[in-house]
Amino acid sequence: MSQDKPDIKEILVTVKQLLESIANKSQGGERYDALCGAFLLSVVDRELDFGERQDESQSAELKQLLGREGSLSDLYTRFCQQVRRGDMDEQWPAAFDFAFKQVIDKVSVTNPKYLAEIHRPD
């Protein structure tokens, strides 16, 4: 990671401000595209803040739930397949809780304001 300035967060803020100013000056499709671009940069910004911690915590939970090691992507795949087959029916509350937490993590990155008060990140 470069130590030169501006850092990644500062670059994101700068480009996001540019897109917002384009959105304020334009209409129709161009305005909508600029707003979408600004939104996507805010997703990147939050993923930089939370992503690594979320991955670590989900990975630890999945390893315990599935009783095996693996990359997060492998663990997701296995979890989804086992849930789909009904293999997790015996542990349904734990499986549901994991999926719910994972969804809350994703919404915390995509659009934290969408979450109910009790689920909002600190």
Quick one: 13 or 87, whose CB is closer to other proteins?
Answer: 87
68 near other proteins, rule: CB under 8 A: no
- The rounded distance, in Å, linking the Cα atoms of 21 and 43 is 18
CA distance 29 to 69: 47
Amino acid letter, 114: Y
Among 1-9, 10-18, 49-57, 108-116, the segment contacting other proteins (CB under 8 A): 108-116
Residue 53 phi/psi, 5-degree rounding, is -65, -40
Using CB atoms within 10 Å of the CB of residue 29, give its burial: 0 to 12 exposed, 13 to 18 middle, 19+ buried: exposed
Sign of CA dihedral 49, 116, 17, 35: positive
Quick check: 40 binds other proteins (CB under 8 A)?
Answer: yes
Whether the Cβ atoms of residue 22 and residue 30 lie closer than 8 Å to each other: yes
Nearer to other proteins, 3 or 86 (CB): 86
**What tokens appear for 60 in the block?**
């630890």
Query: Taking the complex as a whole, how short is the minimal distance between the CB of residue 53 and other proteins, in angstroms?
Result: 17
CB of 33 to other proteins, least distance (A): 5
Site for other proteins in 72-101 (CB under 8 A): 73, 76-77, 79-80, 83-84, 86, 88-89, 95-96, 98-100
* Binding footprint of other proteins on the chain (CB under 8 A): 32-33, 36-37, 39-40, 43, 73, 76-77, 79-80, 83-84, 86, 88-89, 95-96, 98-100, 102-104, 106-107, 109-111, 114-116
